Structure 1
Amino acid sequence: MLKMTEKEHSHSQSAILGLQHVLSMYAGSILVPIMIAGALGYSSKQLTYLIATDIFMCGVATFLQLKVTKHTGIGLPVVLGCAFQSVAPLSIIGAKQGSGAMFGALIASGIYVILVAGVFSKIARFFPPIVTGSVITVIGLSLVSVAMGNMGNNAEAPTAQSMILSLLTILIILLIQKFTKDFIKSISILIGLVGGTIIAAFMGLVDPSPVAEAAWVHVPTPFYFGTPKFELTSILMMCIIATVSMVESTGVYLALSDLTNEQLDEKRLCNGYRSEGIAVLLGGLFNTFPYTGFSQNVGLVQISGIKTRRPIYYAAGILVVIGLLPKFGALAQMIPSPVLGGAMLVLFGMVALQGMQMLNRVDFKNNEYNFIIAAVSISAGLGFNGTNLFASLPTTAQMFLTNGIVIATLTSVILNLIFNSRRSTENEN
């Protein structure tokens, strides 16, 4: 295991370590715009913009968190990437209300996070592992159906070729997990995407035209998809999702605090949340997506033993540069849907297991209420996700009630308050 202090490694070594962080989060981050663009039928040109600008904003968001100022920055080696929990709600809002409502809701939710950052830093106790574990488990499991659709090339009658390609992609990822370790193991999803695409190229299934058509350089454009529309139901939904992201980021911050032996007080937590809110606001203005701390990069900090921020500054710089070069973004469009589906299946399974690991820290033995909280929250989140039970209700009500992540969040928070609030009060006394 590589262990260094800031004085012991050069800028070139820091740049290499920063590149490791970029590679570790790249696959996960580009999947979000690919999935949302696919759900909304965006063109190749629009998807190229989304991916390039998304990567650029990942770098900007990471810069915001690195340096502690009076009002911003968690000051830990954290990398921010696109939040998976935003995929389903943004796809629903975009499909039912249009792109303007989608990005308007993001702008409003960014402002919401900035405004509640101080309050949220004081009420983190309302989001214990029973809540966060249930919600993150639902996030992973609810996205599995999207992976399965891509594995079959989103066709009504998937071909054997599509299934073979997706299974070969999964096999590559499993072999990397089995026979490698440390950093190479941490980018198994990315290697699977590259390997699956190479196999697909030999099968004649790769279209290089998006790369040829993409410009070499671009500058992110405010309101690229038009004027934002501020629709109340969409805003409420994205504020709930923003709260879920803050809960997830709290876990990332606390893990990094433990690894770096740095104490986190309410002030620094507030700064971290506020920076995340600014990043979400900028995402809405430049028509990308919300950002949150990436947990896979916490693992890389632990693997490398590097506990300083210098490599992360390089990672943020690399992301900004790549984001200004649309041809890099267009490369992702060469990945066939079955390859994406295979990688998604593994990745979303990992997300679900991350939630289950959080639930593993919950005291089920001495608190029987936690069983019912997790059981009802996960069941409701998965059961209500995309259901047709509410087809007779107004569109705005359907947007809420058919979003599994929103339902799981509300259910787990409310049930935890009902069943565990008295227990928490007794423990404090």
Structure 2
Amino acid sequence: MNKMLTNSKAAALGLQHVLAMYAGAILVPLLIGSAIGFNSEQMTYLVSIDIFMCGVATVLQLVVNRYFGIGLPVVLGCAMQAVSPLILIGTTKSIGAMYGSIIASGIFIILIAGLFSKIKRFFPPVVTGTVITVIGLTLIPVGIEKMGGGMKSAADFGSGKYLFLAFLTVAIILGIQLFAKGFIHSLAIIIGLIIGTIVGSFMGLVTLAPVAEATWFHFPQPFYFGAPIFEWSSILTMILISIVSMVESTGVYFALGEVTGQTIEEEHLKKGYRAEGLAIILGGIFNTFPYTAFSQNVGLVQMSGIRTRKPIYFAAGFLMVLGLVPKIGAFATIIPEPVLGGAMMILFGMVATQGVKMLSQVDLNEDGNLMIVALSLGLGLGVTVVPELFANLPAAVQTFTGNGIVMTSVTAITLNILSHHGRKKQAVEMVVEEGNLIDLPETV
């Protein structure tokens, strides 16, 4: 099917990728901009340039060259874990310090890309499968909340009309996946979103006000909010966040490698990190935010069955056009929350399923593997559900302990190293006892 992928089909798949990540992409600028107190004109620029730079950041990963680009069908968007720290920097320091710290963190990522890429040997299937499973499971509640209307605190959360629309969308996507053939089968998500939005309009859940209020054209402008200020504590905070993002991106890269049948080597990771760092630097220059690989699009690649980068090139192009022409981009914002929630719940479930599939290849009867999976899943999901567990720790520490994906990654990697060291030591003792020394593998 990939060999017969025409431009029109690739464009449709690309649009599907845009719709899957659009809400998450614009959420970061909306949250940060409103917290800092930006006016409507500033917010318009913030959202538009963010979408434009999502497209640029994605292209940097798609185009493989000597220095950067991982070459996987990956879509980049704003890192959600950066929201709270950036709001804190922007409100207590200055907007200039906020963007200075972003630029500095991007430079930091590029500088350590080679060193960080060597962590590949710490990601055997037992670790990677566990991390990918948690990525999907920790995102599912986001989709569930949207299915109920978007805000759990709302008085009408979980009302009948929201649930009807959400499960109608799920039913449409499921029906297309089960009964449709050929290319239509690959477009299950976008068809579900379109039909769900049309039905939602008859229920009074769609408004065209965002389209009417949006401008026709908005051109990117460097340092729109002023020159960057490089303040050391802000930079240190964003460096910590960048490490968190790199860990999450590593999980996404390995997930996509598994889906597309590609082996991810150190060189791939190094170029991927560099592209991410370059995207973050450009984000700081054009006054947007840090970028990272979006895990929801992994599920879409798996569901569509299209493993090539061609649809992602179209997705990147659409994002840049949407960023330059806000009035067009505003159409994607009219999709009702329950419709988005139904689609997101399926996509995130697909990501978790990919992780379970990888774990099915692991011998859980082998010493340590069962405990690696059990403890890593428990801690990762635990801090996601009860983030208050580490509320009394320093803020810098909470950057790591409050993120379920990072907690899972650190736990799984650490336990895998300890388990492997124990097995290796035991093997050495057995060999020595037999008087037959041999060379043992160094891989973890």
How high is the TM-score relative to the length of structure 2? Answer: 0.78
Show CA shifts across 1:112-155 (max 9, x none).
33122222343311122222222222222222222232222211
Does the C-alpha gap of structure 1 residues 428 and 399 become closer, same or farther in structure 2, counting only changes over 3 Å?
closer
Greater gyration radius = 2
Matched, 1:190 2:216: no
Distance 2:399 2:300 in 1: 32
Q: Distance in 1 between matches of 2:331 and 2:401?
A: 36
* Shift in CA distance, 380/423, structure 1 to aligned 2, threshold 3 Å: same
The change in CA–CA distance for 1:156 and 1:40 in structure 2 (over 3 A counts) is farther
Following superposition, the deviation at residue 197 of structure 1 comes to 1.5
1:23-422 mapped onto 2 (5 Å cutoff): 23-36=15-28, 42=34, 49=45, 52-74=48-70, 76=71, 78-82=73-77, 86-87=79-80, 89-94=81-86, 98=90, 106-153=102-149, 154=151, 155-158=154-157, 159-222=159-222, 230=234, 232-253=236-257, 256=260, 258=262, 266-267=266-267, 269-285=269-285, 286-292=287-293, 294-295=297-298, 299=302, 303=306, 313=313, 316-365=316-365, 367-385=366-384, 386-421=386-421
Is 1:210–1:333's contact at 8 Å kept on the other side of the alignment? yes
Q: What CA deviation, in whole Å up to 9, does each residue of 1:295-334 have, x standing for no partner?
A: 3575589648xx6x77765554444333322123211221
User: How far 1:25 moved relative to its partner?
Assistant: 1.5
Are the equivalent residues in 2 in contact too, given 1:72–1:271 (CA < 8 A)? Answer: yes
Change (3 A) 1:340 1:360: same
Q: Deviations 1:46-83 (Å, cap 9, x if unpaired)?
A: 77655543443343234324444332234x46343327
Q: Give unmatched runs, 5+ long, in structure 1.
A: none
- Specify whether residues 97 and 140 from structure 1 end up closer, same or farther in structure 2 by C-alpha distance, changes over 3 A only: farther
Q: Counterparts of 1:400 and 1:193 in 2: how far apart (Å)?
A: 34
| Deviations 1:222-267 (CA, angstroms, capped at 9, x unpaired) | 4567767725345313312222203422453576574xxxx97654
State whether residues 34 and 47 of structure 1, in contact with CA within 8 Å, keep that contact through their aligned partners in structure 2: no
Which amino acid is the alignment partner of residue 82 of structure 1? Answer: G
Deviation at 1:391, TM superposition (A): 3.7
The percentage of counterpart residues that share the same residue type is 44
Letter in 2 for 1:23: L
Distance 1:375 1:181, change over 3 A: farther
Displacement of 1:207 after TM fit? Answer: 1.5
Count of matched residue positions in the alignment of Structure 1 and Structure 2: 409
Structure 1 residues 1-53: Cα deviation after superposition (integer angstroms, max 9, x where no partner): 3635xxxx9xxx4x324414412421232132244457668488777655543
Contact 2:48 2:326 in 1 (8 A): yes
Seen in structure 2, the aligned counterparts of structure 1 residues 213 and 178 have a Cα distance that, compared at 3 Å, is same
Change (3 A) 1:216 1:174: same
Native 8 Å contact 2:114 2:270 kept in 1: yes
Q: 1:379 to 1:428 in 2, by over 3 A?
A: same
Contact 2:299 2:351 in 1 (8 A): no
Tell me the TM-score normalised to structure 1 length: 0.80
Structure 2 gap ranges (5+) = 428-439
8 Å CA contact 1:21, 1:297 repeated in 2: no
* Secondary structure of residue in 2 paired with 1:428: coil
CA contact (8 A) 2:49 2:323 kept: yes
| 8 Å CA contact 1:224, 1:287 repeated in 2 | no
C-alpha distance in structure 1 between counterparts of 2:188 and 2:45, whole Å: 26
The amino acid across from 1:379 in the alignment is G
